[in-house]
Every structure is written in structure tokens, then in C-alpha cells.
Amino acid sequence: MLELQSAEVDSRRVVHIGPLAIGASRPVLIAGPCSVEPAYPEHASALADTGVDALRAGVFKPRTHPDSFQGLGLDALPLLAEARRRTGLPLISEVMSPAEAESIGEHVDGFQVGARNMQNYRLLEALGDLGRPVILKRGLSATIDEWIAASEYLRRRGNDDVVLCERGIRTFETRTRNTLDISAVVVARELTDLPVIVDPSHAAGRREWVPALARAAVAVGADGLLVEAHPTPPEAWSDGPQTIDLQALADLYELVLDTRLPGLRVV
Ligand code: PEP
Ligand code: MN
């Protein structure tokens, strides 16, 4: 039994984002504000002090309504550089077009493709060609098979540095922002060799529910967590209600440190 599980662990892909290895010895913790704000270097330092492994660094924000804050865009590049200088942590930033990826490529260590762009195939092909690591979020109403098929668009271009991210799907339930499909972690890890991480923030929609969903994700074998965190969540420029504070983030870091050998955790 143990041999079988070890074989499964051995065949899993480890994806490197800068110095960070995802799918290796323990779940990783990637955290940061929903969007980069002018105080981002200070935010990044405070978040780094809690022990996180990498930082969210969103500057192009895919907002449902065009009147909502759209991100600082290229004006944020000096903020990213300063955060990198202060923390030494890898930065991950969402892009919505190949041109955006080119424009911030030097300033980040990995790209995120958001739920709304999971099936933007020209974007996926361009990111495949760039060959940089990509966190591919599951689409709002995408099946697991469609999500994995989307990852193939990156891989067919020779980029296997892909991390799948479950972030909740749209169901009839409206109490939560989305319904966290915890089964998807188990199933996607069985169907692919790619690491699978979980974003409990966009699933829950409320910061009070994030720690419990994060624990559930780790319990089923997730290779990491992608969490919205901010030193003063009520002041966050976007997604404040689902953003956790530094204490809650430090607790999540304890959680991931306590969990080793992901492939052997679940029996
Ligand atoms: C995000 O992580 O900033 C984001 C927009 O999430 P999603 O694409 O999952 O909605
Ligand atoms: Mn957000």
C-alpha cells in the first residue's frame, strides 16, 4: 500500500516559481492583496514576515463591472520591484492578454490565468510560448476535464510548468461567493501529474470562512494555498470582505508547515 502511494508521489511534477517548489515536500502558501496598491511594498514586507512562500502581485484586475478598480497596471511596476527587493519572494501576477504578459514579464516570477480566462486559448498558447510558470485557475463553470484540457494548451507549446488552482465554481448556492469543489483537488491530482492548489478566498467570499476551507484543502492533499491577505483587510482596494489579516495568515502558515509529504497524507 505504502509502495503504491510512494510511486504516485514520484511521478508527480514539481513546478518551480523562482526558488519556490510546488508539489514537493509540503503545501506552499501564496498570499497577498487582491490587487497591488500604492502601499504594496509595505504590504509585501508585512506578509513576508508571517513566512509566506510567494506573493500575489495582481496589477491587471479582471473585474466584473468596468466601474470597479481595474488595477494599477504598468504604474505598479516600481512597486513590484521594490517588493521583490525587500522580501526576496517570488511574485505571481495575473495577465489577461499576451501583451500584458510581455509588459510585466521581467517583474514577476510566474503568471496567473484567472477563472474568466481559463478558456482564452490564444492567451494560453502565448504563455506556453513564453515558457514561464503559470497558475491556471479553474473557470467559473468549467468541468474538471475542461480545466485539464485548458492546461494542455500550455503544455502542447512545451510549457509543463503549470499549477492548477481550484477557486470555487458557480452553483445554485449563493451564500458563498462560489462553491469550493474540494473533490476537484482529489480528482485533478489523480488525472494529471500537475500540482493542484486551492484558493479558498474567491470560493468563500468571506474571510471568516477562509481558514476552514484552507484546512479542508490541505486535508485532501492540495499542493498549496493561494490566499488574499492584507495588513488591514477592510481598507483593501478590492475583495476586502474575503481578505484575511496577518494573524490569520500566520495561522495558515503554521498549517502548511505541519503538513509534509502531500502524497502520503491521504490514505
Ligand atoms: C484573483 O485571484 O485575483 C482573481 C481574480 O480570481 P478568480 O480568477 O479566481 O476570480
Ligand atoms: Mn480578488
Query: Does residue 3 or residue 139 have the better pLDDT?
Result: 139
Quick one: pLDDT band at residue 25, thresholds 50, 70, 90? confident
Report the atom number in ligand 1 closest to the C-alpha of 115.
Answer: 8
Ligand 1 atom 4: residue of nearest CA: 114
Instruction: Inform me whether the pLDDT recorded for 5 exceeds 70.
Output: no
Ligand 1 atom 9: residue of nearest CA: 115
Instruction: Inform me whether the pLDDT recorded for 241 exceeds 90.
Output: yes
Under 8 Å CB-to-CB from 241, ≥6 apart: which residues? 205, 206, 207, 233
Strands (E), the chain: 15-17, 20-22, 28-32, 54-56, 91-94, 110-113, 134-137, 162-166, 196-198, 224-228
Mean pLDDT of 179-189: 98
**Whole-number average pLDDT of the chain:** 94
Mean pLDDT of 79-98: 98
Instruction: Inform me whether the pLDDT recorded for 174 exceeds 80.
Output: yes
pTM: 0.94
Cell numbers standing for residue 64: 466584473
CB 164 within 8 A of CB 192: yes
Mutational pocket test of ligand 1: of 35, 55, 64, 94, the residue with most ligand atoms within 8 Å of the beta carbon:
94
By the CB criterion, residues less than 5 angstroms from ion ligand 2 are: 34, 239
Q: What is the pLDDT of residue 111?
A: 98
Q: What is the pLDDT of residue 218?
A: 97
Mean pLDDT of 159-175: 98
Mean pLDDT of 145-161: 98
Mutational pocket test of ligand 1: of 108, 137, 164, 226, the residue with most ligand atoms within 8 Å of the beta carbon:
137
Ligand 2 centroid from CA 107, angstroms: 20
Ligand 1 atom 8: residue of nearest CA: 114
Ligand 1 atom 3: residue of nearest CA: 34
Q: In the structure, which protein residues have their CB atom closer than 6 angstroms to any atom of ligand 1?
A: 34, 58, 62, 94, 114-116, 137, 167, 199, 202
Instruction: Quickly count: other Cβ atoms within 10 Å of residue 161's Cβ.
Output: 22
Instruction: Inform me whether the pLDDT recorded for 8 exceeds 70.
Output: no
Q: What is the pLDDT of residue 266?
A: 43
Quick one: pLDDT band at residue 259, thresholds 50, 70, 90? confident
